[in-house]
Chain A
């Protein structure tokens, strides 16, 4: 069932329009794997400026390691610029509890002390468990707690949104 879900490409366009006038010319874009990484690449291409790209895998900083352990497929975080003093836009596909963002912020501070961190998300689905808000959101949706909103990318690079039964991730 994908009824009620917005078109991902259209939502990305909305996000880009919101970020364009506001984002610092030299802000670094750091995408959270995997959906946020796809978005970061697109945003860096479409928003004018000098935006160094970085990618972050928050698996080593998650707060549910004690109950779920390490899942396979952890990627290496790649932050190829100096974090200390940098203006950073953290990018994720779906903002829900805020726990992944908390983990990503903690991880960024292990690379250095940024000047500021903003948060851009494609979908804000509510349901926060931490005091974390998006600076830029493509769309806001109400989704049942037992449902996951999932971003996919096809071979041509086109993004789409889907709904899956909830799994701890």
Chain B
């Protein structure tokens, strides 16, 4: 069955995590449920469980990321896996080796799981398809961010955080604010939210930073931030990447902050018990004011903690498939 979702094996179990788009709600819920007991591991004297003992997890980061790589590394180590970090920029790809040759070599070194970040959308999918075609069904791929496409573990940790503080998605209004156009985080979160039946998902930002047909993702579009924040339960701020400021999409950081920076004043339009999230790293004074980032409604640091448990859940589900 060539058209089968490559993320699921013949039994319908998750075997690669490439994107939240098209994943059945039951699979997403299974990951979130499995993450719950992993949160408790951090509070023990020995912060480890033996699930992935003897397995080798390779972090393949073709694009820089300190936080995501570190949280994957911590997650794999808490599962007792051996973790190998490859600094790809300084390795054989720069000598001309193709991506799939690199993968085949690492499989020959008995890799069990690849965590892949790549600037090209679709790179993790390519690796997963290659492994399936070669019949290496015991080797698994986790997408740790590919181009503008997807960042499913970030989307999952956002979903986990929302569920932790707000419970069921069916009664929630969630706003995603900022540079949705370039954000794989936003794309993954929006797919996850709509799959789990969130009552209302809004995107807020200037038209120049929203994808052309963003409404087709099942979201309401607001260009006016105060209107968009009205009665929200959850506000997810996106990082405004510095490189975007240099192009023609935006006038200036100051101008952006004036219209789309989250301040206590703007946040007052949302519900009183709203939670504020941010995938990090934050640009204080650009997309979010320090008073909000460090304030009582912020759950930005718990997101990081939950992210480790969610990545443990994903890796332990994949490695057991």
Task: Give A residues with C-beta under 8 Å from B.
Answer: 57, 59-61, 65-66, 68-70, 72-78, 83-84, 106-107, 109-112
Verify A68–B320 contact, CB threshold 8 A: yes
Verify B51–A72 contact, CB threshold 8 A: no
- Interface of chain A, helix or strand or loop or mixed? loop
Task: Give B residues with C-beta under 8 Å from A.
Answer: 13, 30, 33-34, 36-37, 39-41, 44-46, 48-51, 316-317, 319-321
Q: How far is the CA of A109 from the CA of B54 in the complex (A)?
A: 20
A69 neighbours in B (Cβ, 8 Å): 13, 317, 319-321
Verify B39–A76 contact, CB threshold 8 A: yes
- Other-chain contact of B40, A61, A70, A73, A76 (Cβ < 8 Å): A76
Verify B45–A60 contact, CB threshold 8 A: no
- Other-chain contact of A73, B33, B44, B51 (Cβ < 8 Å): B33
Verify B45–A57 contact, CB threshold 8 A: no
- Whether A77 contacts B40 in the complex (CB less than 8 A), given A70-B34, A72-B34, comes out as yes
Verify B45–A111 contact, CB threshold 8 A: yes
A65 neighbours in B (Cβ, 8 Å): 51, 320
A57 neighbours in B (Cβ, 8 Å): 37
- Other-chain contact of A70, B39, B41, B44, B320 (Cβ < 8 Å): B320
Verify A60–B320 contact, CB threshold 8 A: no
Verify B48–A110 contact, CB threshold 8 A: yes
B36 neighbours in A (Cβ, 8 Å): 74-76
- Whether A106 contacts B50 in the complex (CB less than 8 A), given A111-B45, A112-B45, comes out as yes
Q: Given A110-B44, A111-B45, list of 19 further CB < 8 A pairs?
A: A59-B37, A60-B50, A60-B51, A61-B50, A65-B320, A66-B320, A68-B320, A69-B320, A70-B316, A70-B317, A72-B34, A75-B37, A76-B37, A77-B37, A77-B40, A107-B49, A110-B46, A110-B49, A111-B46
